[in-house]
Each structure stands twice: as C-alpha cells, then as structure tokens.
Structure 1
Amino acid sequence: MAETLVFPGTVEWSGENPGISLKESPEGPFVALASFFRVVLSPHGRGHALVLLRAPQEAAPPAERSNLCITDNEKLARWLIAEFVSHFGAFKGQPGLSSLLWRTLDEVKSVGDAVSSYSEIVRAGDLTVELAWKGLGEPFCFAFPPEKSATGKHHMPSLFVGCETATITVNGRVLPGKPGPREIAGRTISTAMLAFSETWIRAPG
C-alpha cells in the first residue's frame, strides 16, 4: 500500500486560480493578462479577486486600458498580489502591476461544464469582464515542490485543465492576443488554463 502523502508546512490559501495570458505573436510580449481567484481559505478570509492587466507593459495607461483589480475582499487581494501574482511568470516584473485601478466586485458567476468550455463573469458597477476557455483538454493533477513553484517557497498541489482557445472580454470588447504553448508538469498546454483545487503550502524554514 502506498504511503499517505503529507505536505509539510502551513496552508496559506486554497481555492481556484484560472488564468489567461495572451500574446499577439509567439515571440512578442504579453498584451493581456488575467488571473482570477476564488479563495475558500486564507489568513484574510474568503473572497474573489480578478487581476486584469490590459496594458501589462505600461505603468500609467489611459483610462480605457487601465489595469484593474476587481475584488470583494481588498485585504485578501492585496496579499495575493504581493505574495503570489507578482511572482507568476507572465506577471513578474510587469510595470502594469504597479498601477492597478481598484474596483469593488458586485457579482461573479461561473458558466459552463469545465469539460468542453468554461467562463468566469465578473461585474463591478458599469464594468463586465468575461474570461472564457474553450476546447478544454484532459484534467491532470500534480504537485510542485517549493523550488519549482512560482514563489520558490510553496508546495503547490493543483488540478489543471488546458485549453485550445481563450478570450478576455471587457464590456463586450474582446482584448487582442491569443494563448501560446506552455509546458508544465510534463504536459504541453497553453498560457490559458483552469486551475482548480489549488492549494499553496508554505514550506518550513
């Protein structure tokens, strides 16, 4: 019988963290980034947060392309951005992450079966953002050790679902770009994926 696998350390948060990272060409920079959180447990309580960079390369973009954080728990969102999002590969070092416009989340809902397609729809006042994933692949589960995680400090057991296409739509306007190929845990997926059952466990020491 296989031994029970126990991750040493402190569970810092658990929940869902699907994301979409878009480029206009494989060799070019990211032109739009979205990381959505549905957190069920953390030191700062439960909550949702959408970090959306419509101008990742710009610290002070015009209002129509402002970089956003939409959340119903600002303390949680600020902690997630400082401790996690700022270390994510596509977000790391992006000037746009320092110029977020904060909006209060009014409504969030998920749509789809997570087998063929899935969407997260976030509303804040007159703003509606839809993240959509289509052509979903086979779900797979893996656990990164701390040295391979984005932060370099956490175990990260997670269930991922890759997709063929993904879009970010803001008030009916589809943002430019498309996902590119990505290798993770021995699988080839894209830079847009669903991440369910995700838990970040800070390793001892």
Structure 2
Amino acid sequence: MVTKAPAATGYVTRTPLLTGANPFVTLYDADGAPTGYASLWQIDWSTHGTGAVMVVWTPTSLRVVGDHPGLAAWIEEHFVRHFDEATALPSWPAVQARHAVVRLRVDPATGARAEAAGMAVSITGPLDARPFAQADFPLRGVSHGLSMQVIPCEHATITIDGIAVPGSPAVVRADGRPASSAVVTVHEAWSA
C-alpha cells in the first residue's frame, strides 16, 4: 500500500531578489558613538541589474553612488536604510543616488576595498568565516530569506575627500568567537 505524504503547511515560497557580496562597517569613537558607516555592494545578479554600489554615512552627510543609479537607489531604499546598523545611527536623511564608477574588490582571504567619487573604504584582517542563514529576516515589514558567508574583520577605514573618518570598528571575542562591526559577506543571497 502506498501512502501519500502529508501536505506541507506553513511553507512560504520566495522569489530571488539578488546575489553578490555586501561588505560593511560602522566606525566608533572612544566613547562608542558612531562616526561613520559604509555598505559596499557587488551585485552579481538582481531584479534591478548588476553592478557595484557604495553607501557612505557620516554625521554630516549620506552619499549613495553606483555604476547604475537606479540599482544604487534600490539597494539604499530597499535594504541599507532598514538594516540594524543604519537604523541605529542618529540620522538617515533622504538622498539621491548618483552615478559614479565604483571600484570594488572583495577577497574573502584579505577583506574588501572600494573607491568612488572621492570616497574610499577598506575592510581588512579577517578573524573568522562562518555560514549564516535566516529563513525569516524581516525587512520593511516583509519576510525575506537571507543566506551568506560572514567574515568579521579586525580593521577598517573610511576616507572622504582625502580625510579619514575618525574611529575604528568594534571588535569583540565572546567565548572565543570573534564578532566585529566590520564585516565582509560573500555568497549573499536575498529572496522575498
């Protein structure tokens, strides 16, 4: 006798949104106040095209640039401004994405470096590499699927128009497991 498998309940099908890499860093001063934040994106495939994007925040400005301004605007509006790192900042103004050629290199063994429009971001000194997946990542009130390889790093800098943003990443080692506010992600995939 062949029995039928019970029907799955509660399963949510998803549509792919993007794949790529998303190195990011928050710098802090000695008192723990954020001094700079950068989110770098290498989009290998997405519903809005491919290319590189830089989102850089300081207490006095927010800059969003990319190879394709439409892609850069979507990344900033749909993802970055809703991440915990951005919502923890004292302000996140409205901004218009601008076109700029973004030179971004992501290397899981050494870190990431990006340059565009007078900005430079460097994230180096990998401390660990571990997989991460979350089937229900709430973003903009919508459940998203997220998976990636997370590489916390020890060092990071942000430079704007030749001037270094003060501060450094927060690095902790809880029970020997390193965590940092400077992270390189690879194999990042989002779905909704």
TM-score scaled to structure 2, two decimals? 0.80
User: Which residue, out of 119, 123, 129, partners 2:116?
Assistant: 123
1:106 positional shift: 2.4
Aligned partner of 2:99 in structure 1 is 104
User: Larger Rg: 1 or 2?
Assistant: 2
User: Which residue, out of 28, 35, 39, partners 2:39?
Assistant: 35
Aligned partner of 2:183 in structure 1 is 193
Aligned partner of 1:3 in structure 2 is none
CA contact (8 A) 1:136 1:161 kept: yes
SS of 1:91's partner is helix
Cα separation, 1, equivalents of 2:52 and 2:35: 23
Aligned partner of 1:9 in structure 2 is 14
TM-score scaled to structure 1, two decimals? 0.76
Cα separation, 2, equivalents of 1:146 and 1:183: 27
1:183 positional shift: 8.8
CA contact (8 A) 2:52 2:104 kept: no
Structure-to-structure mapping, 1:49-64, within 5 angstroms: 49-55=53-59, 61=60
Q: Percent identity?
A: 26
User: Which residue, out of 21, 24, 33, partners 2:26?
Assistant: 21
CA contact (8 A) 1:10 1:201 kept: yes
1:99 positional shift: 4.0
Q: Aligned pairs, how many?
A: 180
Structure 2 residue runs without a partner (length 5+): 1-11
Cα separation, 2, equivalents of 1:91 and 1:182: 20
| Aligned-residue RMSD, C-alpha | 2.8
1:182 positional shift: 6.4
User: Which residue, out of 160, 163, 182, partners 1:170?
Assistant: 160
Structure 1 residue runs without a partner (length 5+): 1-6, 56-60
Which protein has the bigger strand share?
A: 2
Cα separation, 2, equivalents of 1:49 and 1:95: 23
CA contact (8 A) 1:119 1:130 kept: no
Cα separation, 2, equivalents of 1:182 and 1:67: 27
Aligned partner of 1:143 in structure 2 is 133
SS of 2:86's partner is coil
Cα separation, 2, equivalents of 1:162 and 1:93: 19
CA contact (8 A) 2:53 2:102 kept: no
**For residues 28 and 101 of structure 1, do their structure 2 counterparts lie closer, same or farther at Cα, with a shift above 3 Å needed?**
farther
Cα separation, 2, equivalents of 1:50 and 1:120: 11
1:88 positional shift: 0.7
SS of 2:70's partner is helix
User: Which residue, out of 123, 134, 139, partners 1:133?
Assistant: 123
- Give, as a single letter, the amino acid of the residue that structure 1 aligns with 2:105: S
